[in-house]
Amino acid sequence: MINRLRGRRTSALVYVIWGYIIWSLVPVIIAVIYSFNDGRSRTVWQGFSFRWWWQDPNASVFQSSEMRNAIINSLVLAVATLLVVTPLGVALAIGAQRISGRGTNVVQGLTSAPLITPEIVVGAALLITFTRLFTAVPLGFTAQLLGNVTFSLSSVVVIVRARLVSIGPSFEEAARDLGATRWQALRFVLLPMLWPSVMASLVVVFATVIDDFIITSFLSAGVSSETVPLRIYSSVRGGATPALNALATLLVLTSFTVLIVGLFGLSTWRKRHGERGGMRAALADVTRMSS
């Protein structure tokens, strides 16, 4: 009897999971399909073509200068944020982990504060900061970069600290006992072991920045700093064509590509260090550390 009840609960849970997956993916799939629509409608199918990808000389994704500019801006902003926030987040996580005493809880709370602060509050605060206090920082790419670094930094700190807790201090202590200096133990022992958390941070930060709308829109300086999410929003308000679907499809494909590359790098790291699991275990690692 107990086994039957457990089996029914498991079956119900499986149905709920698959229902959620279908509910989440079907709208995305429909949007991708209509990016290949030959007509201007985004709801009525009028034949298959690549008109809104590159064939239309004025309105297609790769022919429109405005859409190309939005794509380039999104990629540059995401990559630049990665280059700044990853080493800074790793350094802050290591420093916060080594703080002892009463200041430990305070540091943990401060580093996690942006995660629980509404993004619209952060965006509005940053806009006031750059327009009233630090007026030397112009709105546009520079302000957007600093804003995304500020908002994403806590994610890297939390992910890396989770890895540091699982590693513990024993490996560094063993290296110091064998004659390594503090810097050598950090460089040759701890940092290589932090590689899974670094890969997870790269994936999370890239996905967060490339589709960020609130902070990027608050700190935008117009068309010159327009990103893909801002372009999609403005196109929806001004009468959209299937080119909008193509642009959104590119955003989804870019995020998935970065995820696959990150999982592949993490899987390669696991194999080189004699761990099992491959891509499935790598995905579990990314999910566990990012949560």
Q: Looking at residue 273, which CATH number applies to its domain?
A: 1.10.3720.10
Residue 14 backbone dihedrals phi, psi, to 5 degrees? -60, -40
pTM of the model: 0.83
| φ/ψ bin of 100: left (φ > 0), alpha (ψ from -120 to 50), beta (otherwise) | beta
Q: Which residue has the tokens 């996905």?
A: 207
- Residue 279, pLDDT > 60, answer no
Side-chain-side CA neighbours of residue 41 (13 Å): 6
Please indicate, yes or no, if residue 19 is contained in any of the structural domains.
no
Please indicate, yes or no, if residue 95 is contained in any of the structural domains.
yes
105 Cβ partners below 8 Å, 6+ apart?
none
Q: Bridge partners of 37?
A: 48
Please indicate, yes or no, if residue 7 is contained in any of the structural domains.
no
**Environment class of 1 (CB within 10 Å of its CB; exposed 0-12, middle 13-18, buried 19+):** exposed
Residue 166 backbone dihedrals phi, psi, to 5 degrees? -70, -30
Longest pairwise C-alpha distance within the chain: 72
∠ CA 187-193-197, rounded to 5°? 115
pLDDT one-digit tens code per residue, 267-278: 777 777 666 655
Please indicate, yes or no, if residue 29 is contained in any of the structural domains.
no
pLDDT one-digit tens code per residue, 135-162: 888 999 999 999 999 999 988 988 898 8
Range of the structural domain that residue 97 is part of: 64-290
pLDDT one-digit tens code per residue, 95-138: 887 776 666 666 666 677 777 888 899 899 999 999 998 888 89
Please indicate, yes or no, if residue 216 is contained in any of the structural domains.
yes
Residue 50 backbone dihedrals phi, psi, to 5 degrees? -105, 30
Q: How far lies 83's CA from each of 140, 210, 274, in Å?
A: 18, 14, 29
Q: Which two tokens stand for residue 156?
A: 């890297």
Q: Which residue has the tokens 């040759």?
A: 188
Q: Residue 133 carries which DSSP code?
A: I
Q: How does DSSP assign 143-205, residue by residue?
A: HHHHHHHHHHHHHHHHHHHHHHHHH-SHHHHHHHHTT--HHHHIIIIIHHHTHHHHHHHHHHH
Q: How does DSSP assign 25-69, residue by residue?
A: HHHHHHHHHHTTBSSS-SSS---B-SIIIIISTTTSTTT-HHHHH
For residue 44, give the H/E element and its range: none
At 43, which amino acid appears?
T
For the chain, strand residue ranges (E) read none
Q: Which two tokens stand for residue 182?
A: 């503090």
- Residue 215, pLDDT > 90, answer yes
How many domains, in total, are found in the chain?
A: 1
d(CA 262, CA 160): 15
pLDDT one-digit tens code per residue, 163-189: 888 888 888 888 888 888 888 888 888
Please indicate, yes or no, if residue 87 is contained in any of the structural domains.
yes
pLDDT one-digit tens code per residue, 37-94: 888 887 788 888 888 898 888 888 888 888 889 999 999 999 999 999 999 999 888 8
Radius of gyration of the chain, Cα coordinates, nearest whole angstrom: 23
Please indicate, yes or no, if residue 257 is contained in any of the structural domains.
yes
Please indicate, yes or no, if residue 68 is contained in any of the structural domains.
yes
